[in-house]
Structure 1
Amino acid sequence: MTIDVWFVMLPGVLALDMTGPAETFVLAQDAFRLHYIGPDAEVPTSIGLNMGNISPLPETLPAGSLLVLPGVSDSANFFNTPQASLVLHWLMRLQPQIHNQSITLMCVCSGAVLAAKAGLLSGVQCTTHHDVIARLKAVAPTAQVKENRIFIEDRGIWTSAGITSGIDLALHLINRLRGPETALSVAREMVVWFRRSGDDPQISPWLRYRNHLHPAVHRAQDALTAEPQKAWQLADIAECAHVSPRHLTRLFQQHLGISVRDYLEQLRLVIAEQSLLQGQGAEQAAQAAGFSSPRQLHRARARMAS
């Protein structure tokens, strides 16, 4: 059975919050039927491009529907417009269907704030983009707001961190609704190397330590990211960075606050966890990530947790 997906379109909608999940669902062949609804027939987006052919808000949604609330570029502004007010009252009317889970709600980025303003997140575990966490807590003081999460589900309500995490959540829902083969096929088509889970941090090791400008450290990080499973020696990494091993060690501590070894271990842990989530055994996951054995992987996980 084809699942109807309804995207609520408001002025200022973040283009990728909408198009990322939309393209993901479209690639699942005929499993999903997409609709774009809202108070206006045409809305400006975050990238200056107008989107049109938007249908009016329907009175009700059929059971089994997936309702998507994308984020907007400025939630303090665009969620306080006459159009947003109309959507809020419409969401309130849908509240019984959402709470009895005949409709699945998917919020991308600050879309969670819109859901909160409609009273849909009271007592619900939820998340949003890290820049909007404080606003979500203020709007929904009784919600169980989780920080640094890619996405989370509670009683049929899914919330996500935004931008690319909307794609992660869409893939996860495809996996849930249409099975792992369809989700894996879509991920391959999109060239998504790692499908993150809801428990993954919003700012993973791939990005967390890149907020610096030192070219030698960037060269070392690029080399490690390209081949994290390689049996790296400090001298080999330093050679890629064009500095001495001793100097590279100082640079990592100065600019990243961690050692070269710890940085590489964090990258490897991400790969191992993804392999385990995709159904690989501990031996395969450890080998794929560059650990010598499952025991070494277990020790690395324990060190990270301590």
Structure 2
Amino acid sequence: MKRTTFLLIIILFLLPSHGWAQGVNTYGQGSVILEVEGHACMGDDKSRKETRLMAITETKRKAAEMALTHISSETRMKDFAVTSDIVDAYSQAKVKIIEEKENGWFTDKFAGECYRTKLKLEVIPDLDRLSKVINKDTLIEEPNAPLAVKLWTNKESYRVGEKIKIYLRGNKPFYARIVYRDVSGTLTQLIPNPYRNDNYFNGGVTYEIPSGNDRFELQVSPPFGKENVILYTSTGDLGKLDLQQTGGVYVIQDSSKGVETKTRGVAITQKTGSSGPGVAEFSEAATTVSTTK
């Protein structure tokens, strides 16, 4: 397997910031991440396996309802049709288990043996319903919409020696992780990196990567092919990965699936002044670049 498409050149000085260019836009797929507890009891006619499955099903149902309530209350756009499309997409959401935080059996005085579980879950809106609005800059410029991000590069294809520039923009403040996947499948974390620990970005601002304190460049070198830039964002701090420093970046030791799962282990915090459950909005975007001689 070939090791990398772009040579990561470590620069021993701070790179200056450049004006951003307009490339092909990729818009993030949004979701909601939250932690929910649920339980079910055996009664006289259910096995332990059936009871456990009932508890998980009930917890997922509660998560879907909580996510819909959050989206309905937090989405306050002037365009009622767009707001309606977003809420409608979450009303038909799918729920995915990220992590089982706690579980165990207990005895209820009246219901007998019961199973309790606490899950970290991702509520994913119906993308067919959301497709009407997801690829619009309307959301990127609307802070009262759910977290929306846009990712692009300065070009779609590059020749040897050229440098890739990455751009990102969100509609509200967010935490970000940028991962570069080369032709061999090696995963490199560009942001945050050893010289830029802060991965918190403001909404309504276009950011260029690399820039500022970054001490790396992405310069095209053999082998050539199609590679990916992946942007993970959330309103809560993202989960930690197993990393190994290589110059000005980190090589990720986790698998692609591990990166997806661990990144979604976001910090869930309750909104100030709210009595409802803690919720983190999440959005992921990816773009493909091609390199040739």
TM-score (norm 2): 0.25
The structure where helix makes up a greater share of residues is 1
The structure where strand makes up a greater share of residues is 2
TM-score (norm 1): 0.24
